[in-house]
Amino acid sequence: MPKVLMPIGDATEMMDTLYPYFRLPEDGFEIIVAGPEARKYNGVMHEIPPGAPVPWDITKEQPSYHIQATVAFKDVKPEEYCGLFLSGGRAPEYLRYDEDLLSLTRHFYENNKPVATVCHGIEIAAAAGCLKGRTATTVAKCELDITQVGGNYVDQPTHTDGNMISSRTWHDYSELFRDFIPMLKEACQ
């Protein structure tokens, strides 16, 4: 099966991560989870608490499921992968400093391989220098991550720019996967 790489770390958002983890194999893709180390990582759930006595204007973070990374970033051979999926959560805030991950990310952009990014996953693409002159969407609080590196932000459920498709949050996954899976199928033949 063609392989898709999904980098994660502690505080990966589990809806962002588990949906592609289970969805992509349904269409014949093996998803390989990578992390700073090959180990189990702690996921989180982000939501604006409904009915909270004091209103929240940002998401509350709670512990969630765990997910195993089977390979460390430094050991990934990017030429073995036909696509990249950058999930969100707080993990990208510190993963964007990992030079091995940034090098991997650049490989996918420079070789015109399909890349999907959701929510804070855009921070990895930005840190890797892959957004200059590109248009993307993300959760509104990450708009600056696109624009400060010379990219253009649009507020819409998904946006495709060449080999990259971006979405705001997992709430937009129906549209994202409707377009990302054909992109993967064409590139991975």
For residue 73, pLDDT over 90 is answered with yes
What span, in angstroms and rounded, lies between the C-alpha atoms of 39 and 4?
18
Amino acid 57: pLDDT: 84
For residue 153, pLDDT over 90 is answered with yes
75-101 tens-digit pLDDT: 999 999 999 999 999 999 999 999 999
* 36/62: higher pLDDT: 36
Amino acid 63: pLDDT: 87
For residue 69, pLDDT over 90 is answered with yes
| Pairing, β 158-161 against β 135-136 | unpaired
Phi-psi label, residue 4: left if phi above 0, alpha if psi -120 to 50, beta otherwise: beta
For residue 43, pLDDT over 90 is answered with yes
Average pLDDT over the chain, rounded to an integer: 96
106-124 tens-digit pLDDT: 999 999 999 999 999 999 9
Domains and CATH numbers, the chain: 3-187 (3.40.50.880)
Amino acid 175: pLDDT: 97
> In this structure, what token pair is assigned to residue 80?
């073995």
Amino acid 59: pLDDT: 85
Whether this prediction's pTM lies above 0.85 is answered by: yes
> In this structure, what token pair is assigned to residue 178?
């409707």
